[in-house]
Amino acid sequence: MRICIFGAGAVGSHLAVRLALAGHDVCCVMRGRHLDAVKAKGLTLRVGDASFSARVKASDDPATLGTQDLVISTLKATGVASLASGLKPLLGEDTPVVFAQNGIPWWYDIGLPADHPPPPDLGFLDPGGGLRAAIPKARIIGGVIFSSNEVVAPGVVANLSPERNMLLVGACDDRQDVRIERLRATLNEASIASQPVAQIRETIWSKLLTNMSMSVLCLLTGQTARAVRDEPALRDVIPRLLDEANAIGQSCCPNVKRVTRSGPAPEHKPSILQDFELGRAMEIDALVRAPAAFARAAGLSTPMLDMLAGLAIQKARDKGCYQA
């Protein structure tokens, strides 16, 4: 398959190497020193003591890459709007687009199941409606990524979760068709686990429950997820916080698995904290503001999460990492 990774930073570069080594014709939309290094030497993926390299075509101009059979966007929510203008040259008649990002996606209300409660106004996730105008429902595939990666040098990515690398996918209207089955098979063959999911929004919420609570605590404390979980001063705070997060998720998807304090907690900093420390635009809207809007729409009282959201927004805004 001809596969384009659009926004190949840490996660996208990991996927690119895996897919290229599985025999696919992979290209990447990327920029900066990372792009320069990939053009000169290819992409390298480090997993523990092992190292894997692949030659991929790379450019900061999608128009130079040609029509693709599949596009996987690994852009963060803060950058996904660039797809509206850059995607068209990559699309063939039936090219699907996978949106592998954290938080509530811009397309959440497209293809919504009839039994799903009406969502709040999520227009702030797609200001001006550019994505909605450029990408029809038939092309949209939701993606939830479970993989910790870091660009350790231009052209070199380290995978920090060798036992847990998944990309779970599903059509925005949850239809199960040959296209989705083929995509899952492609990912599995490339050592990117992708088991079937019945409802992609349930999967989105299952990850978001942790991101909207524990990851925001990491941002506010500057600590890793494990350090936050094990911090004695937060022993009584975390369960109350998770209760509120679980209530929001279950108000939308009653079968979503509850997150508990005893769940897995990796010894690394979540992406929202990494972005803050590097002074990059932060996914506040998708990870914090959108869940708060769902809580209000459901009539839920979430004082702990409201306080965290306010502190996170102020902290990000003060550093110039968020504007709203």
Q: pLDDT digit string (tens) for 54-104?
A: 999 999 999 999 999 999 999 999 999 999 989 999 999 999 999 999 999
- Answer yes or no: is pLDDT of 310 > 70: yes
Predicted TM-score (pTM) of this structure = 0.94
pLDDT of residue 148: 87
What pLDDT does 318 receive?
A: 95
- Please name the helix (run of DSSP H) or strand (run of DSSP E) that holds residue 225, with its range, or none: helix 225-229
Is 3.40.50.720 the CATH classification of the domain at 2-198?
yes
Confidence of residue 324 (pLDDT cuts 50, 70, 90): confident
Active site residue 207: yes
pLDDT in tens, 93-126: 999 999 999 999 999 999 998 889 999 999 999 9
CA-CA distance, 243 to 304, in Å (whole number)? 10
Kindly indicate the confidence band of residue 263, based on its pLDDT and cuts at 50, 70 and 90.
low
- Whether 160 has a pLDDT exceeding 90, the answer reads no
Catalytic residue among 57, 207, 257, 315: 207
Position 180 pLDDT exceeds 80: yes
Write the DSSP symbol of residue 117. Answer: P
Residues 38-68: b if buried by 16+ CB within 10 A, e if exposed = beeeebbbbbeeeebebebbbbeebeebeeb
- The pLDDT-based confidence of 266 (bands split at 50, 70, 90) is confident
Residue 264 has pLDDT above 70, yes or no: no
Total residues belonging to the chain:
324
Q: Give the pLDDT confidence score for residue 43 in this predicted structure.
A: 97
For 121-151, write each residue's pLDDT tens digit: 999 999 999 999 999 999 999 999 999 898 9
Phi, psi values for residue 71, rounded to 5°: -120, 130
To the nearest whole percent, how much of the chain has pLDDT over 70?
Answer: 99
Average pLDDT over residues 44-48: 96
Mean pLDDT over 289-311 rounds to 96
pLDDT in tens, 226-250: 999 999 999 999 999 999 999 999 9
Domain boundary assignment for the chain: 2-198, 203-318
CA distances from 111 to 175, 200, 274, 306 (A): 10, 11, 33, 29
Q: Which CATH number fits domain 203-318: 3.30.465.10, 1.10.3720.10, 1.10.1040.10, 3.30.70.20?
A: 1.10.1040.10
Quote the tokens at residue 182. Answer: 């083929």
Dist CA 289 CA 284 (whole Å): 6
